[in-house]
């Protein structure tokens, strides 16, 4: 059995007095799709962001593909290139065209030639269904289209693992599925994914494992089927009762 791709062990973090991550232990295997759910303020987004060190942590360790997370500088940048990240608010580069958004990383970080990068970018934009918008600017696209471009931008780096921080929470309801469809496609293609989301449908369709967090701790983990039908902890039962009654 190969070693897990992402390993968090004993990770702790405080925001001032607030202990946002309490002794987090989590390992994610290659090709695995892990959903992180939990009430707001449970630390799930913070955990997701510590994995590529957009958030610092105080104790514990995080390794990706066997390598511990570097502190700062060039090494950290190199590691981040291997970890894709999709944000709640898309964060496309507002002053660049859709195509330039996707080619920036491959050209500047992977040192690819412009023509090759653009060809690959167009293929990726085709895959997420926004190739015809390549020359537009982010503000000219709908939220769902922007988020699909953001996914293409991450994919262009050929990441080992992709992090999704509530990728559909800022979208209008009718646009959620177009983004989830792309994500389901990625999961089927074997991408390792850690997804913070409240989309239970996606969890059931694409996830290998559900991780439930509350108050900065991982309370329980199980397969989606098991978790949704037979949650063990009271916190999880309480949470599920609140979101599944609607």
Partner 1 sequence: MGELFAQFDVWSAFGQTLYLAFFSAIGALIIGTILAIMRVGPVGIFNKAGAAYVNLVRNTPLTLIITFCLIALHYQLKIYLAPEDSPTSIVDNGVRWAIVGLTVYHAAFVCEALRSGINTVPTGQAEAARSIGLTFTQSLREVVLPQAFRGAIAPMASVLIALIKNTTVAYAIGVAETAAFMRDGLEFRPDLSFLIFVLVAGFFVLLTMPLGIALTHLSQRLAVKR
Least spacing, CB of residue 63 vs partner 1, in Å? 18
Residue 58 or 93: the one with the smaller Cβ distance to partner 1 is 93
**Whole-number Cα distances in Å, 83 to 42, 65, 92:** 23, 11, 17
**Whole-number Cα distances in Å, 229 to 98, 138, 226, 244:** 42, 40, 5, 11
Least spacing, CB of residue 211 vs partner 1, in Å? 21
Least spacing, CB of residue 105 vs partner 1, in Å? 4
Sign of CA dihedral 89, 157, 210, 50: negative
Least spacing, CB of residue 67 vs partner 1, in Å? 14
The structure tokens listed for 96 are 């660049």
Residue 30 or 136: the one with the smaller Cβ distance to partner 1 is 136
Least spacing, CB of residue 138 vs partner 1, in Å? 8
Residue 25 or 140: the one with the smaller Cβ distance to partner 1 is 140
Cα–Cα distance measured from residue 53 to residue 37, given in angstroms and rounded to the nearest whole number: 20
Nearest CA among 8, 51, 20 for reference residue 214: 20
Q: What residues line the site for partner 1 (CB under 8 A)?
A: 52, 54, 72-74, 77-85, 87, 89, 91-95, 104-105, 108-109, 137, 139-140, 150, 153-154, 157
Residue 194 or 203: the one with the smaller Cβ distance to partner 1 is 194
Residue 87 or 212: the one with the smaller Cβ distance to partner 1 is 87
């Amino acid at each position: 059995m190969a070693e897990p791709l992402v390993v968090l062990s004993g990770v702790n973090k405080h925001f001032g007095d607030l202990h946002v991550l309490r002794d987090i232990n989590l390992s994610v295997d290659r090709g695995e799709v892990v959903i992180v759910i939990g009430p707001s303020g449970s630390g799930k987004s913070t955990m997701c962001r510590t994995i590529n060190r957009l958030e610092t942590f105080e104790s514990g360790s995080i390794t990706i593909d066997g390598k511990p997370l570097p502190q700062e500088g060039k090494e950290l940048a190199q590691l981040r290139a291997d970890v894709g990240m999709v944000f709640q608010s898309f964060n496309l580069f507002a002053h660049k065209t859709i195509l330039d958004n996707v080619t920036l990383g491959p050209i500047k970080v992977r040192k690819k030639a412009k023509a090759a990068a653009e060809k690959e970018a167009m293929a990726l934009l085709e895959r997420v269904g926004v190739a015809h918008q390549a020359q537009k600017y982010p503000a000219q696209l709908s939220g769902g289209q922007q988020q699909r471009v953001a996914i293409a931008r991450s994919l262009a780096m050929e990441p080992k693992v992709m992090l999704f921080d509530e990728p559909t929470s800022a979208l209008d309801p009718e646009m959620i599925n177009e983004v989830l469809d792309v994500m389901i496609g990625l999961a089927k293609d074997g991408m390792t994914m850690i997804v913070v989301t409240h989309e239970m449908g996606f969890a059931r369709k694409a996830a290998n494992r559900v991780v439930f967090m509350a108050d900065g701790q991982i309370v329980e983990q199980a397969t989606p089927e098991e978790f949704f039908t037979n949650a063990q902890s009271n916190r999880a039962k309480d949470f599920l009762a609140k979101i599944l009654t609607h």
